[in-house]
Structure 1
């Protein structure tokens, strides 16, 4: 346990940071990894999953979109839950929901037991499982800045927030990249459900032992102590957030970026197989953009932390990243561009993903001293809504492939059964990709032009006298 004590005109409380903070951080990060693995793993092998459950690819899309749908009402409930019952209760409930979803998926297709259920029952069991995971997702999403503010000192808070935020990306990376190399035909789907059930077991056990309280006995910093001293009702907090111009800009733009990312990853296999790319290569492409994104997001957080230029770093990152993502979407419309797509995904992911951790930190600065989880949850609500619309539009904008593309598509070459009733049919996703281009441009314009950030938490940290900091925190509510 590390401690520090400073003096002022009034008696200064003791600020401590505890080694347990790293276990709390690891638990929340693992929660987001395990639930995002379960969320995305079906989409990464959509054709094999469609054949196994004997449904169409649009029915497979329900596995990812239903999470967004149930996440919309749960978002506001989850932030109230963190406020009312604290971090420990929220983490435990999210772990239980994720574990339950993984268990249902595993049992309904478990080798030796799967014959006890017909395909319709198995499919709807999987949908119920995805609903449970979707309910857990907003709970995990609202915790990065909550953990950072309550458990970490200011110089570590951006790193802690960045690690948890990027844990979403790591979970999607594992589910999207590893799955296609293991699940090569429909008979492997039961093993997919068994394999990705294991992380939720580990996370549940870790959470029960490591998160034994919601806050440390002593606050880690001046700003944390001042924020904890400001108590307002949940309804008033929502009103303050929804009338905060900078926060609305962040909710639209950062939420839009997350929604774009979720839609992109959930549809990449169907987009690429229609252009003749193999399922393993689409999985590899998903891995490249996500892994480079984790590294790039960490690098962006480091640069912002060292320079103190949080807003400038975020705007430069998103602007360059938007141009690169438009290039990537254009390349995905073509066939035979393996190396070009792979390289562009690495560079684009490295730069574009920086907006995720930086956006969370900007939200914390602009909403201080309000409970940080409330703002993050509203951003997640925006992300879920935009992601749900984009994924829903994907199916609605599908068109038939032209004859030249029908000759090279690989969507129907996986476990194909010409005599069956559920042959997967490849579709042209050009209109969907164009919609994504327009969406990411709009998000960038709103963020770069609209955001004029304030740094309330940083200013509070500079004040020396405890009572002055509390007065500043209270005054910040009216700005």
Structure 2
């Protein structure tokens, strides 16, 4: 790479190492920083990895670059957070509102329990194929466009569901309409569910990010709480199911209207240092996620924790009604479950912000969750007094639901700087897959009721149709066993993550990293002029030279290797770069 001075202008030319079929020579006139950045962006993926702010921060140091030392935040972020939370509440309410009244749904739509379960399964199944497209769109177009798509699809789906109560439509046709509306809402979830983490990362400071993420994700739990409590109250019998569908439209439309007030996808200035760092292209992000052992372990662990929650929320009525619990009791149980979970998310999110000990908090939560699930299963099967049941649900919620935001923060720490929506979207996809397997497989392990259980069950109470009721003791034991199994996995395997930017060695998955040959000028005039032309400041020359060296050895070369612009041989990592600094008469200052 040559830096020359010709007629008081700088010219920058670069040549990658001639290894294999890689032979690229790059030339750009360096009149000011904007020209250089335009040049970098012209290099497609490779150039996009070196953003303006990152280049400034590495070249001249944060205190001299055009990056604020105090990162400002903006008050409108709280309004945006409210819109995100309302969208989460509305979408979750629509997902869960038939689970606490599954027996009424069976009677109203003249279907079986499996068909009602598909209203919940629809959300999980749709997430799997549409996660990657939706996360790509969110990362590509930003939070605002992702919100527009999500909230308005959610509103349209909720309106379509209301047509399923029209008497002029046949019984089978009504349920098809309900499923179609549920599908639209499930498709909206793939946008709504993946926005909170990216939104909190972009708009909130480092000291507020975990709390904002916990509030946004906790809103999803709060929507499930409302659906679990209000559904049995609003629809105590089949005649009130239309009212339940009508009321579910209100928050969906309100979220859509308020989303129009979101004026920008990102704040005018970065909210924290990490926001200005380099970001990786989508396909390369997927490749790195697959190579990260830490992420794969968190992928499984978080997936099982959230999958158990999804299965319990979906099958709770079918699991508990054989033991004599009515719909009102189920609603209260889910209320304690989600309410305590939302509180736990806020509490543990606050401590995570204050202490930064995500790893330790996660260990505590996994251990406590295994104990909580054992207590819940034993209390349900042995029909203990109801206040013990309420306590068990609250305990499970308080220690298991915070695993969702905490694990997502851990994932971002593990794979940074991969885009947030991509990392979280694939993580959520794991939970949906596991949840689907549980919802589909658990009923297969149910057994017919004995004579005593048939005398106390409430599943078919007041029903004019014959409903097949099963005892879910075995599935409950399996769920508790899965959580205990996760807790017993070695913590060194579960939580061996790096809480900082991965080193080039880790990034490129190479066993060794050798030095890159880089010569710099010994003439201070060259450095002073280069810095002044770029930034109009005069930083200490030693710091400037060191940071300039770091730019090539820690950013350009590793990412060039990762993208295939350079290929390593037996001696060198990332190819060989030699920098020649020349002045107009051709004298080589440094080589």
TM-score (norm 1): 0.90
Superposition pairs for residues 11-410 of structure 1, below 5 Å? Answer: 11-14=65-68, 15-109=71-165, 114-209=166-261, 211-226=262-277, 230-410=278-458
Cα drift, residue 454 of structure 1: 1.3
Residue 473 and residue 285 in structure 1: after superposition, are their counterparts in 2 closer, same or farther (change >3 A)? farther
Q: CA deviation at 1:354?
A: 2.2
Counterpart in 1 of 2:5? none
CA distance 1:123–1:312, change in 2 (3 Å): same
Conserved? CA contact 2:86–2:255, under 8 Å: yes
Deviations 1:165-222 (A, max 9, x none): 111111111111111122111111101101111110111111122x222111211111
Q: 1:452 aligns with which of 486, 496, 502?
A: 496
**Deviation, structure 1 residue 458:** 12
Distance 1:192 1:330 in 2: 33
- Report if the CA contact (8 A) 1:33-1:167 is conserved: yes
Residue deviations 1:247-278 (CA, integer Å, cap 9, x gap): 11111111221111011011111111110011
Structure with bigger RCO (C-alpha 8 Å, 6+ apart): 1
Highest Rg: 1 or 2? 2
* Change over 3 Å in CA distance of 1:392–1:16 after alignment to 2: same
Per-residue displacement from partner, 1:41-94 (whole Å, max 9, x unpaired)? 011110111110011112111111122111110111111111222211111111
Residues 340 and 9 of structure 1, relative CA distance in 2, 3 Å threshold: closer
Pair 1:438 & 2:481 matched: yes
Cα pair 2:132 2:425 within 8 Å, conserved: yes
CA-to-aligned-CA distance 1:387-409 (integer Å, 9 cap, x gap)? 00000012222221111100000
Query: What SS is found at the alignment partner of 1:219?
Result: coil
1:426 maps to which of 463, 469, 475 = 469
Question: CA–CA distance in 1 between the matches of 2:450 and 2:342?
Answer: 37
Are the aligned partners of 1:397 and 1:429 in contact in 2 as well (CA < 8 Å)?
A: yes
Name the SS for the 1:16 alignment partner: coil
Structure 1 Cα separation of the partners of residues 490 and 86 of structure 2 = 30
RMSD between superposed Cα atoms in Å: 2.3
SS across alignment from 1:184: coil
- Secondary structure, aligned partner of 1:441: helix
Report the CA distance between 1:427 and its aligned residue: 1.2
Question: Residue 104 of structure 1 aligns to a residue in which SS?
Answer: helix
Is the Cα–Cα contact under 8 Å of residues 209 and 353 in structure 2 kept in the other structure? no
Q: Which has the higher helix share?
A: 1
Distance across 1 between alignment mates of 2:313 and 2:430: 18
Cα distance in 2 between the residues matched to 1:471 and 1:115: 70
In 2, Cα distance between equivalents of 1:235 and 1:273: 47
Number of residues of Structure 1 aligned to a counterpart in Structure 2: 456
| Corresponding position of 1:3 | none
SS in 2 for 1:454: coil
Q: Deviation of residue 288 (structure 1)?
A: 0.3
